[in-house]
Structure 1
Amino acid sequence: MNIKQFEYKPLSHYSYAIISEGKMAVIDPERNPQQYYDFAKENNAEIVAVFETHPHADFVSSHLQIHQETGATLYNSEKLGADYPHETFDEGNSFQLGNVTLKAINTPGHSPDSITIAATHGKETVLFTGDTLFIGDVGRPDLREKAGNMQAKREELAEMMFETLAHKFTSFSDEAVVYPAHGAGSLCGKNLSEAASSTLGEERKFNWAFKKQTKEDFMETLLEGQPIIPAYFGFNVGINKAGAENLQTSLEKIPFRENAFAEGLIVDTRAEDIFKKGHLKGSINIQASSDTAKFETWLGAIIKPNEAFTLVVDNKNDSEKILHRIAKIGYETQVKEVITIPKSELVSSDKLNVEDFKNHLENYTIVDIRNQTEIDGGSLFENALAHPLSELKDSAAEIPTDKPIVVHCAGGYRSAAGSSILETIFPNATVYDLSEAVEQFKK
Structure 2
Amino acid sequence: MKIKQFEYEPLAHFSYAIVSNGEMVVVDPERNPMKYYAFAKANNAKIVAVFETHPHADFVSSHLQMHKETGATIYVSNKVGADYPHRPFDEGDTLQIGEIEITAINTPGHSPDSITIVAKDGKKVALFTGDTLFIGDVGRPDLREKAGNMKAKRRELAEMMFQTIQDKFTGLPDDALVYPTHGAGTLCGKNISSDKSSTLGNERMGNWAFKVETKEKFIDSLLDGQPFIPSYFGYNVDTNKTGAPILRNALAKIPFKLNGAIDNGALVIDIRDEATFKRGHIKGSLNIQAASESAKFETWLGAIVEPDEKFNLVIDHPKDLEEILERVAVIGYEVNLLSVATSDTMNLETMESLDLNDFEKHPDNYTIVDIRNKGEVEEGKFFKNALSHPLNDLRKTANEISTGKPIVVHCAGGYRSAAGSSILKNKIPGTKVYDLSDDIEKFK
Q: TM-score range by the shorter chain?
A: over 0.9
Matched, 1:8 2:16: no
Partners of 1:180 and 1:13 lie apart in 2 by 9
Partners of 1:169 and 1:259 lie apart in 2 by 57
Residue matched to 1:273: 275
Partners of 1:354 and 1:196 lie apart in 2 by 41
Residue matched to 2:21: 21
Matched, 1:319 2:329: no
Residue matched to 1:99: 99
SS of the residue corresponding to residue 193 of structure 1 reads coil
Matched, 1:335 2:337: yes
Residue matched to 1:300: 302
Q: Judge conservation of contact 1:311–1:335 (CA < 8 Å) in 2.
A: yes
Q: 5 Å matches for 1:135-146?
A: 135-146=135-146
Structure 1 residue identity aligned to 2:399: A
Residue matched to 1:35: 35
Partners of 1:363 and 1:312 lie apart in 2 by 34
- Compute the RMSD of aligned alpha carbons: 0.6
Partners of 1:344 and 1:309 lie apart in 2 by 20
Q: 2:390 aligns with which of 382, 388, 391?
A: 388
Normalised to the residue count of structure 2, the TM-score between the two structures is 0.99
Partners of 1:157 and 1:357 lie apart in 2 by 47
Q: CA deviation at 1:427?
A: 1.7
SS of the residue corresponding to residue 74 of structure 1 reads strand
Partners of 2:63 and 2:159 lie apart in 1 by 30
SS of the residue corresponding to residue 37 of structure 1 reads helix
Q: 5 Å matches for 1:23-422?
A: 23-262=23-262, 263-422=265-424
Structure 2 residue identity aligned to 1:373: G
Q: Judge conservation of contact 1:155–1:219 (CA < 8 Å) in 2.
A: yes
Q: Judge conservation of contact 2:398–2:428 (CA < 8 Å) in 1.
A: no
Q: Judge conservation of contact 2:81–2:149 (CA < 8 Å) in 1.
A: yes
SS of the residue corresponding to residue 332 of structure 1 reads helix
Q: CA deviation at 1:315?
A: 1.1
Partners of 2:434 and 2:236 lie apart in 1 by 34
Q: CA deviation at 1:212?
A: 3.9
- Percent sequence identity is 64
SS of the residue corresponding to residue 36 of structure 1 reads helix
Partners of 2:329 and 2:134 lie apart in 1 by 25
SS of the residue corresponding to residue 222 of structure 1 reads helix
Residue matched to 1:427: 429
Question: Can you list the C-alpha shifts for 1:112-154, whole angstroms capped at 9, x where unaligned?
Answer: 0000000001111000000000000000000000000000000
Q: CA deviation at 1:341?
A: 1.9
SS of the residue corresponding to residue 14 of structure 1 reads strand
Q: Judge conservation of contact 1:6–1:14 (CA < 8 Å) in 2.
A: yes
Q: Judge conservation of contact 2:145–2:154 (CA < 8 Å) in 1.
A: yes
Structure 2 residue identity aligned to 1:433: D
Structure 2 residue identity aligned to 1:88: P
Q: CA deviation at 1:173?
A: 0.9
Partners of 1:213 and 1:49 lie apart in 2 by 38
Q: CA deviation at 1:344?
A: 2.6
Comparing 13-22 and 260-269, the one that deviates more = 260-269
Normalised to the residue count of structure 1, the TM-score between the two structures is 0.99
Q: Judge conservation of contact 1:79–1:150 (CA < 8 Å) in 2.
A: yes
Q: CA deviation at 1:260?
A: 1.9
Partners of 2:191 and 2:81 lie apart in 1 by 30
Identify unmatched segments of 5+ residues in structure 1: none
Question: Can you list the C-alpha shifts for 1:69-114, whole angstroms capped at 9, x where unaligned?
Answer: 0000000000000000000000010110000000000000000000
SS of the residue corresponding to residue 190 of structure 1 reads coil
Q: CA deviation at 1:261?
A: 2.1
SS of the residue corresponding to residue 344 of structure 1 reads coil
Partners of 2:6 and 2:428 lie apart in 1 by 43
Aligned length: 442
SS of the residue corresponding to residue 383 of structure 1 reads coil
Q: Judge conservation of contact 1:47–1:72 (CA < 8 Å) in 2.
A: yes
Question: Can you list the C-alpha shifts for 1:229-266, whole angstroms capped at 9, x where unaligned?
Answer: 00000000000000000000000000011112224310
Partners of 2:326 and 2:266 lie apart in 1 by 23
Q: Judge conservation of contact 2:399–2:428 (CA < 8 Å) in 1.
A: no
Structure 1 stretches of at least 4 aligned residues deviating more than 3 Å after TM superposition: none
Partners of 2:398 and 2:81 lie apart in 1 by 39
Identify unmatched segments of 5+ residues in structure 2: none
Question: Can you list the C-alpha shifts for 1:327-353, whole angstroms capped at 9, x where unaligned?
Answer: 000001111000112223100001101
Q: CA deviation at 1:157?
A: 0.1
Q: Judge conservation of contact 1:261–1:280 (CA < 8 Å) in 2.
A: no
Partners of 1:420 and 1:319 lie apart in 2 by 23
Partners of 1:217 and 1:341 lie apart in 2 by 53
